[in-house]
Structure 1
C-alpha cells in the first residue's frame, strides 16, 4: 500500500523534530552535513521515531539546498548530502511498512531575500531530484512563510513527479499568513495546484495550531496535515528550549484529528516521547470525513477619512514644495529647537523633517519631538525611521505609535552603522533593509500587520525613501530608485548636492520617473565643516569650487556664513528650474541660514511667475 492509499483510510502519525535532537547532541553547525559526518546519529534518530510508532519519517534535509548550504560553503554538496540522507532514512525503515518523505524547507521568511524566485526554484529542483532519485515516497515542503514561493514550488514539483507532495505553511498568527491570506484560502489554492497533503507546521504550539485548523475546511482532493511545535519557545542559559509534556501534545493531536488532520507530526521541540504519546492516543481514532468550518470573526478594516494635509508626493507633482530638516537636540533643552521649527514652518516649509539619530549618535526621539510640534504648535512633522535601531517588533510598534499620533509622513532609511557614532560597541539591528521596510509599511496601509494579522484599521503613511546621487555611476543609483518604487516608495529625498552640473545630471537620469524627487541643498558654515562633510560623511561630496570658496573665507564666521548661503542660492537657481521638490538641510541648528534660503526660493518662484505673465 502506498502513502496516498494509506491516507485515504486512516490517520498517519509522522515523526517529530530532527534538528532538536541533533542540537541536544551538541551538533549545532550544519545539520545536513551530519548525514555524511555523523550518519550513525542521524539513523539513530530515525530509528527512535520509528520505534515510537511513527508511520512516516522525514529525511534530514531541511536546509540541504544550494542556497542554504552556501552559508557553510557546501553549495556544491547538494547531491551528496541528500543522497546520504535518503539512504539513512530508508535503512532505518528497512523492510517495514513506514514511509519516507524527503524534506525541503522554505527559503524566504518575513525578510525578503536578494535571491530571486527563479534561483530558489532552481535550487529546490536540484535538491528534489536527488531526493527522488534516492527513492523517497514523497516530498515534504515545510516551514514556508512566503506563499508565492510555496505555490511556485508545488507547481514545479508537480511537473517533476507524481509522488506525494506535502505542502505546509507557517504562520505568525493562528489562521493567517504574513501576506494577510487566511489559512483556509491558502490550503484551497495549494490543493488546486496539485498538492496531495496541505497543512501547517512550526512557529505555533498545539493550542494555536488547533485554533488555526478550526478555520479550515476539508480540501476537495488533498488531505490535511499538522506538525505543531512542542510549545512556544523559551531560552535558558542561551539555549532554545520548549516546555511541553508529551501527553498534553498527544491530547492536542486528537483535537487536530478532530479538525480533519490525517497526517499528524511534530516540529521544533518535539521528540520520540511526543510521537509515542500521539500514537497511543490515536489508537482507534477514525479520520474525519465531514466538517463544518468554525465561523471566522472578520475584523472590520476601516478606511480612514481622507487626510486634511495633502501628501507631499502629491503636492510636489504639481507645484513647489519645500521640506526643511532640523535635527533634534543632543541634550534635554528643547526650547531653541521648537522656536526654530516654528519659525521655519511659519516661513512656508511644508514640513519639518527630523533625522533618527543621524551618524548613530543619540538625540531626543524624533517621534517625541514630532508629537510636540504637531500637537502643541500645529507644525507638520516628518520623522526619519532607520532600520538600525529596532528589530521587527520595535519597528511595527513604532509605526503603530506614529499612526496613533496621526504622523503620516515618514522617511525610511537604512541608518548609519553604530560604529561611526557615540557608542561604537552598540548593536546595529538591521532586521530588514530600507526597501523591505517600505513594503512592510505599505502592508500597514492595507490594515495588515507585519505578521499578516488584521490591524482593524488602515494606516495612512506617505513614505519617502533616500536617494544618494553623489556616486560615480548615477545609473546604478537610479536603478535603486526604481526598485524602491516597486517596493512602494511615494517620493525621494536626496543627499545634499553641491554642483549645478550634478543637479542637471540627476534630472536627465530621472526624468522618466513619475515619482517626485526633493533635491537636497545644505548651506556650508565654514571651511572646516565643508572638509568634514566632503571627506568623512558618507554620501556627500563637494565641488572643488565650493571648497575653495569656503577656504577663502578663512576664520571670518560672518563671511563664511554669507558665502555658504551664496553657494546654496546658486544651487537653488538650478534645482528650482528642474525640480518642484526642494529639501533644505539646516546645518547645526543654524536655521537663520535656512530662512534665507526659503525666502530665496519664494523670490525665484515670484520672478518666474512674473516672467510667465509678461
Structure 2
C-alpha cells in the first residue's frame, strides 16, 4: 500500500476539504455548554464526537480535526462547568486525537491538532506565558502523531504569530487561520498584512475561519491573496467560514449580532449557497476549503459535490443525494418534481417564515475584545448613558 499523502502534497496536487463546526453542532446536540464552548465532550461523551467525525468523513471531508477548540488549561479553568473541571488540556486533547485518528483511518483522512486564542494573551500576561499554553497542547498533538497543526480562531495577529512559532518546533506542517473579516484584526492590522505576517512567521497555509459567512470571508481572503502576491510570498490559502449569513455584521462578526448564539437558524446557508462558496473559493485559489460554526455534514457534502470533478470523486454521502436535486424527480407531487433543476435552487430567494421580521439586524458593534472587568460593568449597567460610557471606556482600554 502506498503511503498516505500529507497535507502539503495534497494541497500541491489539488484541493483538501475540511470538516465543519463541532462546537455549535455538539451544543445543539446537548454535549457542549454555550458560553465556555469547551470540548470536554471528548471525554464525557466520546461517541457523540466520534459520530460527528464519521458524518463529516462520509460527507467528503479529508481532514478530521481533533475536537480541541479552546482546550488550553487557562481556558478550561474558566469554563464555569463544575462537572467538567476535573478535565485538563492533556486529557481532553489526548482523547480528541484518539477519536479523530480512529475515524480518519476508516477512510483516507488526515488528523489535525488545533489550538486557538487564549485568556492568557487577552489578559496581557505576555509572550512567554501565552506560549506555555500553546506548548502544552502541541506536546500532546506530537505524542499522538497528528498529521499537521492548525492555529485557528485568533483575533490578534500578534498572538497567532506566537502560536505559529511554537507549532513550527514540532516539525509538522502548520496552518494559520484568523477569525477576522475584511477589516482585519482587533488591533487594526489589515487583513492583507495579517496574511503576510502569518506567512513570514512560517505558516505553510494561511487564511480565515469563523466569525463571518462564506462570502464575507472570501472578501477578506481576496485582500490576503493580493497582499501575499504583492510581497511575492507563496503559501496555500484556507477558508473555513461560518454557515450563517452575516452581511450586517461588523468587525467581530456574528458575535456582535443580537441572534448570537441561540437564534441564528434563520441565517443558515443552504446547501446550494455552499456550492457557490466552494466554486468561488476554488476560483480564488483557495485549496483548503472547509467550514466552522454552523457547518453540518450536508454543507460539507455540497462542497465536495461542487468540487467532484477537481477531486475525481463524489463523497460516500452522495449515494443518497443526486446533484442539483435530481432525486426530486421521483417525488409524488408534480410541482415538487419541477424543482429538480439547478436553475431553480440557484435562483431561489428563501423566505424566513417569520412575518414582520427584518432582513438584517443592528449589531452591538463593540469592535474590540474588552477585558472581563469592562464586560462585567456593562452587564451591570442600568441605563443607556452608562452603557455608552462603558463602550467608550472599553475602546480606550483596548487602544482604539
State TM-score, norm by structure 2: 0.70
Give the alignment partner of residue 67 of structure 1, picking from 74, 77, 86: 74
> Which SS does the other structure have where 1:71 is aligned?
coil
Change in CA separation of 1:116 and 1:432 when aligned onto 2, cut-off 3 Å: farther
Q: Could you say what the CA RMSD is over the residues aligned between the two structures, in angstroms?
A: 3.4
State the 1:227 CA deviation: 0.5
Look up the match of 1:393: 365
Change in CA separation of 1:48 and 1:420 when aligned onto 2, cut-off 3 Å: closer
Look up the match of 2:39: 32
Look up the match of 2:285: 260
Give the alignment partner of residue 123 of structure 1, picking from 129, 133, 139: 133
Q: How does 1:79-478 map to 2 (within 5 A)?
A: 79-107=90-118, 112-158=122-168, 160-171=169-180, 173-215=181-223, 216-217=225-226, 220-231=233-244, 232=246, 233=254, 235=259, 238-241=262-265, 242-285=267-310, 393=365, 434=393, 437-440=395-398, 442-443=399-400
Give the alignment partner of residue 8 of structure 2, picking from 4, 7, 26: 4
Judge conservation of contact 1:108–1:145 (CA < 8 Å) in 2. Answer: no
Superposed CA offset, 1:149-190 (max 9, x none): 0011111221x211111101121x425222232222221221
Change in CA separation of 1:223 and 1:108 when aligned onto 2, cut-off 3 Å: farther
Judge conservation of contact 2:207–2:237 (CA < 8 Å) in 1. Answer: yes
CA distance in 2, matches of 1:419, 1:212: 32
Q: Which has the higher strand share?
A: 1
State TM-score, norm by structure 1: 0.47
CA distance in 2, matches of 1:416, 1:237: 19
Superposed CA offset, 1:401-443 (max 9, x none): xxxxxxxxxxxx979969999x69x998997795x53244x53
CA distance in 2, matches of 1:61, 1:419: 29
State the 1:57 CA deviation: 2.0
> 5+ unaligned residues in a row in structure 1: which ranges?
287-390, 397-412, 444-614
State the 1:20 CA deviation: 1.6
> Which SS does the other structure have where 2:113 is aligned?
strand
Look up the match of 1:22: 26
CA distance in 1, matches of 2:31, 2:289: 26
Look up the match of 2:53: 46
Change in CA separation of 1:11 and 1:37 when aligned onto 2, cut-off 3 Å: same
> Which SS does the other structure have where 2:208 is aligned?
strand
CA distance in 1, matches of 2:110, 2:306: 21
Change in CA separation of 1:209 and 1:431 when aligned onto 2, cut-off 3 Å: farther
> Which SS does the other structure have where 1:198 is aligned?
strand
Change in CA separation of 1:71 and 1:281 when aligned onto 2, cut-off 3 Å: same
> 5+ unaligned residues in a row in structure 2: which ranges?
247-253, 312-362
> Which SS does the other structure have where 1:226 is aligned?
strand
> Which SS does the other structure have where 1:249 is aligned?
helix
How many positions carry a matched residue from both structures? 316
Look up the match of 1:78: 89
Task: Return the structure number with greater relative CO, CA threshold 8 A, min gap 6.
Answer: 2
State the 1:64 CA deviation: 0.9
> Which SS does the other structure have where 1:102 is aligned?
strand
Judge conservation of contact 2:59–2:297 (CA < 8 Å) in 1. Answer: yes
Change in CA separation of 1:200 and 1:75 when aligned onto 2, cut-off 3 Å: farther
Judge conservation of contact 1:67–1:120 (CA < 8 Å) in 2. Answer: no
Superposed CA offset, 1:117-172 (max 9, x none): 322210111011112211111111111111110011111221x211111101121x
Change in CA separation of 1:394 and 1:31 when aligned onto 2, cut-off 3 Å: closer
Query: Larger Cα Rg: Structure 1 or Structure 2?
Result: 1
CA distance in 2, matches of 1:17, 1:417: 32
State the 1:112 CA deviation: 4.0
State the 1:245 CA deviation: 0.3
